[in-house]
Each structure stands twice: as C-alpha cells, then as structure tokens.
Amino acid sequence: KAGVTQTPRYLIKTRGQQVTLSCSPISGHRSVSWYQQTPGQGLQFLFEYFSETQRNKGNFPGRFSGRQFSNSRSEMNVSTLELGDSALYLCASSPMTSGTHEQYFGPGTRLTVT
Amino acid sequence: AQSVTQLDSQVPVFEEAPVELRCNYSSSVSVYLFWYVQYPNQGLQLLLKYLSGSTLVESINGFEAEFNKSQTSFHLRKPSVHISDTAEYFCAVSVGGYQKVTFGTGTKLQVIP
C-alpha cells in the first residue's frame, strides 16, 4: 500500500495570505489527524477527522480549519497567515481497527511565512 | 484526560552503548502505547506499539519497550545503538474509542561516534 502523501512538500507564503494543505491517507484508513510541529512548541494536535466529521480539535484559533472528503482525503486551511504559523504540518492516518489509534504519518508540509 | 511525560529532551550516548529513553503516562483507564521515531526532515514513523498481551514489545531494528502498569511507564531501550539511530523519539498514548492520541514532547537521541 502507498503511504500517506502530503502536498505540497514546501511552501512559502506572506503574512496575511491563506494556504491550503492536502493529505491523502493510506487506502482504507478513515481517520485523518493534523499536527503542527515547531522547535519551540513541539508536536501539537490540530484536529482529527473521521468519515468527513471533525471528531477532535486542539487549541488553535479559528484561522485553522480543515475538512475531509468522502474518499478520506483531507485538507487543512490557514487563513490570515502569521509569522508564527511557520512550521512543519504533519498529517497522519489511522486504520481505526480496534480503536487503537496507531497512526501513520506523511512526510509533512514545511510552511514558511515571511 | 491522558498525558505523556518524556523527561529527557536530549540523550547523548556513545555508539555501541546501551540507551534508555523514558516515558511515563497518566490515564485513569486502560491505554494503548506507542513509540514513534522522526529522522531529520521526515515525518514520524511508528517504531513499536503496546496494545495488549505481552508487556515487552520489540521493533525490527533492535529497540524494545516494556509496559509497566504499576509504574505507568513505557521506557524504550536498545542494548547497543548505532549512528543511524540518531533521531527524535516520541512516546504517545491513546485510550481508544473517539479520544485523540496524546504525544510526549520528544527525546532527541544523539549517538556519538
């Protein structure tokens, strides 16, 4: 099976702009989670989607949003970008077998805000 | 809610020496436990997992972790490290169901030649 893919891998944006990141989970995986990783804050949970519904949400402002499509692919959007949004954004999918939440991560999208 | 503590942010160790990366968790219910590894400029990879059964779990590259319920720990060990083990290691806990996975803050393992 192909792994989790994320596009684009690298992105440079300007403050005030918005950005959309895409994630394609492993075939058959219905749960997709998003994380923000920075040197200062570490790995922080953004949100999780399961069957097109947001099931869990982290403590991020409303500028961060996401959605999941019927084929389980997911997108996250950040509006009105700030310098502090520069980070590695990781997507992870889970097979949800037995509800164990073991996750498989994509390579990430490196977002730089200037 | 569950939580994970990785007390060591960095662990330097000489090549071929043993290493232990510590992980403690807090939860009022039964848990599933994971170790993930992140190599530079990559995403996280699942290293090993404890779901049930034997408390000692092993990975294919020589790491092992032991679930200790009384001490609420899931420490990661390797008897002899290699340069290629240099990476950041994350401990994670899940209680299953609809709850999200909680990750620790990570431990950077630096293997010194």
Residues of B in contact with A55 (CB under 8 A): 98
Query: CA torsion B50→B82→A35→A76, rounded to 10°?
Result: -120
Check pLDDT > 80 for residue A100. Answer: no
Query: Best of B42, B44, B57 to disrupt the A interface by mutation (most A CBs within 10 Å)?
Result: B44
Contact A42 B34 (CB under 8 A): no
Check pLDDT > 80 for residue B39. Answer: yes
pLDDT of the residue at B53: 81
Using an 8 Å Cβ cutoff, are B11 and B109 in contact? yes
How far apart, in Å, are the Cα atoms of B20 and each of A12, A95, B8, B14, B79? 39, 30, 10, 13, 9
pLDDT of the residue at A108: 96
Residues of A in contact with B36 (CB under 8 A): 105
For the record, the structure tokens of A39 come out as 């040197």
Average pLDDT of every residue of chain A = 92
Q: What is the per-residue pLDDT across B58-110, written as a single tens digit (0 to 9) for each?
A: 888 899 999 998 999 999 999 999 999 999 999 999 876 666 788 999 999 99
Check pLDDT > 80 for residue A102. Answer: yes
> In sequence order, what are the residues at sequence separation of 6 or more whose Cβ sits closer than 8 angstroms to the Cβ of residue A113?
A12, A13, A14, A15, A81, A82, A83, A84, A85, A86
Average the pLDDT over A11-26 and give the result.
97
DSSP, collapsed to helix, strand or coil, labels residue A99 as helix
Q: What is the per-residue pLDDT across B45-59, written as a single tens digit (0 to 9) for each?
A: 999 998 888 888 888
Contact A98 B96 (CB under 8 A): yes
Check pLDDT > 70 for residue A97. Answer: no
Shortest CA gap B71–chain A (Å) = 22
Check pLDDT > 70 for residue B6. Answer: yes
Amino acid identity for residue A42 in this structure: G
Average pLDDT of every residue of chain B = 91
Rounded-to-integer distance, Cα A94 and Cα A107, Å: 15
Query: Best of B31, B103, B107, B108 to disrupt the A interface by mutation (most A CBs within 10 Å)?
Result: B103
- Partnered with residue B107 across adjacent β-strands are B89
Which of A8-17, A32-41, B66-75 has the highest mean predicted lDDT (pLDDT)? A8-17
pLDDT of the residue at B98: 65
DSSP, collapsed to helix, strand or coil, labels residue A112 as strand
pLDDT of the residue at A98: 55
